[in-house]
Amino acid sequence: MAPFHIRKYQEGDHKRVLELFVSGMEGNIPATFHHMLTWLQTRLFLVGVPLAMLLVSGSWLLAVVCCSTLLLLLWLYARYLWKTHVAKCLHADMADITEHYLRRPGSCFWVADCGGQVGGIVAAQPVKTPPLGKKQLELFRLTVALEHRGEGIAKALIRTLLQFARDQGYHEVVLETSVVLPGALALYKNLGFQKIHECDADSTPWPMAIRSVHLMYHISSPQESRF
């Protein structure tokens, strides 16, 4: 396990941060594909359409080709979702990290420095329209390089963000993640985040919608003693 330390983002990190973010997000494509295979509507479609093809044509070859084509289309759909998300981020906050996270009050962007190389990232911005009487900070862009996973980097990044929230006087930290990332969900809950609600992601239309999970950490919660 290589030693690491958490520090604020610097302009010289930009290229590596973008590479890490893109590879991390696109690394979720297989998990998304496998998650969609568990849906009842997907299974019915994968069985029903090839079966109909077999009954109509009498050809097993056409049925197999049909099933393979449907699986390919499902993979491409999963790929499209993450590619679209990445492209949107690269043209928004990730295009100028300093402007979006370091020059704006109450925001920040941290990296995990692993021997001079960025091995993880996380960002935070204040929620624009929080509930009345609440000051909320939102967690964004948590990503850890594949070769550095399991080293405690994600926990260290989140703990740094939570301490920042306390120091800045925030009442709560909120975030949105996906049901296709059970490892991330387990990590957040282990650190004291609580599930608020679950809904269809805005970028995924019914009946192929991916569920988003919204979580919250109460700064005054008993979990605070851990940090």
Residue 84 binned pLDDT confidence (cut-offs 50, 70, 90): very high
What does pLDDT average to over the chain? 92
Q: Phi and psi (nearest 5°) for 152?
A: 85, 10
Tell me the per-residue pLDDT of 98-150, one tens digit each, with 9 for 90 and over.
Answer: 999 999 999 999 999 999 999 999 999 999 988 888 899 999 999 999 999 99
User: 195 - beta bridge partners?
Assistant: 215
Q: Phi and psi (nearest 5°) for 32?
A: -65, -45
Quick one: pLDDT at residue 207?
63
75 has pLDDT over 60: yes
Quick one: pLDDT at residue 205?
65
Bigger pLDDT: 36 vs 200: 36
Tell me the per-residue pLDDT of 15-67, one tens digit each, with 9 for 90 and over.
Answer: 999 999 999 999 999 999 999 999 999 999 999 999 999 999 999 999 999 99
Please name which of 220, 177, 181 lies closest in space to residue 195, comparing C-alpha atoms: 177
CA distance 104 to 95: 15
73 has pLDDT over 80: yes
Please name which of 105, 107, 37, 39 lies closest in space to residue 71, comparing C-alpha atoms: 37
Quick one: pLDDT at residue 222?
44
Quick one: pLDDT at residue 203?
65
Please count the residues of the chain. Answer: 227
Q: What does the block give as tokens for 73?
A: 């289309």
Bigger pLDDT: 2 vs 17: 17
- Three-state SS for 65? helix
How would DSSP label each residue in 16-37?
A: HHHHHHHHHHHTTHHHHHHHHH
Place of tokens 């970028």: 203
CB under 8 Å to 124, separation ≥6 — which residues? 101, 107, 108, 109, 137, 138, 139, 140, 161, 164, 165, 173
Share of the chain above pLDDT 70, in %: 93
**Whether the Cβ atoms of residue 127 and residue 138 lie closer than 8 Å to each other:** yes
Which amino acid would we find at residue 188?
Y
CA dist 123 to 5, 37, 225, Å? 16, 32, 23
Q: Is pTM beyond 0.85 here?
A: yes
First to last CA, the chain: 22
Quick one: pLDDT at residue 66?
95
Residue 204 binned pLDDT confidence (cut-offs 50, 70, 90): low
Quick one: pLDDT at residue 199?
85
